[in-house]
Amino acid sequence: MSELRYHRLPWHDEQWHFLQQAVEQHRLPHALLLSGPPGLGKEQFVLSFAQSVLCVDRDRDGVACGACRQCQLLYSGNHPDFQWLKPDEESKSGEITIEAIRSLTANASLTSHAGGNKIIAIQPAHRMNKAAANSLLKTLEEPTPGSVILLLTDQPGRLLATIRSRCQTIYFKPPHRTQAIEWLSDKVTQEDPRLLLTLANGAPLKALQLDNSELLNARKEMAKGFLQLLAGKRDPVSLARGWGAFDRVLLLEWLTGWVIDLIRLKEGGDEGGLFNRDLTQALQKTADKINSRTLHGYLLQVYAARSTVESNLNPQLTLEKLLISWCDCRTQAC
């Protein structure tokens, strides 16, 4: 039979061994907070860990057999003792609601079918609205034996402090660059893994998602448009319209990177430390036309837009405002 197993990523060893030890010593916490930037494979970690916990024939390292009935069920996404909770895709607010938490934490659903553990993963946990978070808190205060709740987030500060304090936190951080490049080198097909990893802030899975020449060409075009705005060569509203269909989260992340690089260049930073090394020349030209203080002020506006991007009901208007405001930076340029 083919192996139906989720493999853990090479940079997850530390987190893996920590939890395996807890399993062996029967002191697995009822709630875990898996915290760290996106693109590090927290989801894959959850899947490999859940499979390990539910498998009836795991090896000494805790690795699931990939052949038993439990492994098969988990791999096919049908294991009754493992559940993912994510925001309803239809929901405009992108929130995880109290109804979803209630149905997940109802007593019956917290009891294992197979007689072992029951695992529930909530992602992104910071998207629970207030009522949902309070409802979850009650469950965390009175845990059901054998149930393990995993909260995944890249923004732990947005969770209730009372929730955080009831979870054991497992941190995920970008792997060493050499390890990440080695992992990427036989997977990327279109772009330089070093550039991809830098653009992805050191997150290997994100770097892999960016391995798409069309996407990276679009990024170059967008950067060009953004820099031309400051030179008065483009109209902010029509540019925002042209970017309208693009993934907002990625767009704002790139925009942040351009502004940070301008600040770095302005402050005499080393070219090698830039996110957008392939755009150094164009960035330098713009950096010469604007002062540091204005750039810092603008960066705060970009951060503010980013913090609401997932729940923003009028993202197009926000983008327009952001680009208009960028044009205004020109008047303050030195």
Which residues lie near Zn ion (CB under 5 A)?
A: 55, 57, 64-65, 68, 71
Which CB atom, from 148 or from 151, has the smaller least distance to Zn ion?
A: 148
Which CB atom, from 57 or from 99, has the smaller least distance to Zn ion?
A: 57
Burial letters for 76-111: b for 16+ Cβ neighbours within 10 Å, e otherwise? Answer: eeebebbbbbebeeeeeebbbbbebbbebbeeebbe
Which CB atom, from 117 or from 325, has the smaller least distance to Zn ion?
A: 117
Locus of tokens 């892999």: 208
Which CB atom, from 3 or from 247, has the smaller least distance to Zn ion?
A: 3
C-alpha to C-alpha distance for 146 and 128, rounded to whole angstroms: 23
Which CB atom, from 69 or from 130, has the smaller least distance to Zn ion?
A: 69
Which CB atom, from 58 or from 306, has the smaller least distance to Zn ion?
A: 58
Contacts of 270 (CB under 8 A, 6+ apart): none
Least separation in angstroms between residue 83's CB and Zn ion is 19
Least separation in angstroms between residue 57's CB and Zn ion is 5
Least separation in angstroms between residue 7's CB and Zn ion is 14
Residues 53-62: contacts with CB within 8 Å, 24+ apart? 53/23, 53/28, 53/116, 53/117, 53/119, 53/148, 54/79, 54/81, 54/82, 54/114, 54/116, 54/117, 54/119, 61/20, 62/16, 62/19, 62/20, 62/23
Least separation in angstroms between residue 56's CB and Zn ion is 6
Strand intervals (E) in the chain? 31-35, 82-85, 118-122, 147-153, 168-171
Helix, strand or coil, per DSSP, at residue 167: coil
Locus of tokens 């072992």: 116
Least separation in angstroms between residue 118's CB and Zn ion is 17
Least separation in angstroms between residue 79's CB and Zn ion is 11
